[in-house]
Amino acid sequence: MNVVIPGKPDPAPSVSALAKKLARKRLIVALVLSAAMIVIYFGFMGLFAFDKPLLGTILVPGLSLCIVLGPLVIISSFALCLVYVVWANRVFDAGIRNLR
């Protein structure tokens, strides 16, 4: 824990405090994105396991709900990865450079 002494100005917070803050931020981003992936995937698998008729709804000839949602799960996996990498390259890496 970082001890803050009242009255004394603290112009440069210690490196370890900054590092902890950055690590925490990364963990939150990583957990939120992982949770999103898990919800998307097990939402889909839940439908597959427990509500096949719904997933099998034919929308137009040649297209059923599962053929829309399946590729969407694949695309959203990539999209979530992209979100993380853009965030990490812009925000996280900049934070790391500040620490060094």
Partner 1 sequence: MGNSTLSIGFFFAFMALTLAITYWAARRTRTTEHFFAAGGQVTPWQNGWALAGDFLSAAALLGIAGIVTSNGFDGMIYSIGWLVGWPIILFLIVEPLRNVGRFTFADVVAYRLRQRPVRLAGAVGTLAVILFYLIAQMVATGSLIKLLFGLPYTWSVVVVGSVMLVYVLFGGMLATTWVQVVKAALLMGGGILLAFLVLTHFDMNPLKLFAAASEKYGTKVLQPGSKVVSGQWDAISLGLGLMFGTAAMPHVLMRAYTVKDAKAARLSILYATGLIGVFHLMVFIIGFGAMVLVGADAVAKAGGGGNMAAPLLALTVGGNAFFGFICAVAFATMLAVVAGLTLSGVATLCHDVWTNVIRNGTASEAEQLKVARVATVMISIFAIFLGIAFEGQNVAFMAGLAFSIACAANFPSLVLAITWRRFTTPAAVASILVGTLSSLVLIYLSPTIQVDILGKPLAAIEHQWWFVSLRNPAIISMPLSFAVAILLSLVTQEKNADLAFDEMQRRILLGPVQPNASKQGEVKSAA
Chain contacts with partner 1 (rule: CB under 8 A):
16, 19-20, 22-23, 26-27, 29-31, 33-34, 37-38, 40-42, 44-46, 48-50, 52, 55-56, 58, 60-64, 66-67, 70-71, 73-75, 77-78, 80-82, 84-85, 88-89, 93, 96, 99-100
Shortest Cβ 6–partner 1 spacing (Å)? 25
Whole-angstrom distance, CA of residue 38 vs CA of residue 33: 9
Shortest Cβ 79–partner 1 spacing (Å)? 9
Shortest Cβ 12–partner 1 spacing (Å)? 18
DSSP 42: H
Q: Rounded to 5 degrees, what are φ and ψ at 59?
A: -85, -55
H helices within the chain, ranges in order? Answer: 15-50, 52-55, 65-87, 93-99
Whole-angstrom distance, CA of residue 93 vs CA of residue 22: 10
Closer CB to partner 1, 13 or 20, in the complex: 20
Shortest Cβ 73–partner 1 spacing (Å)? 5
Is residue 69 within 8 A of residue 55, CB to CB? The reply is yes
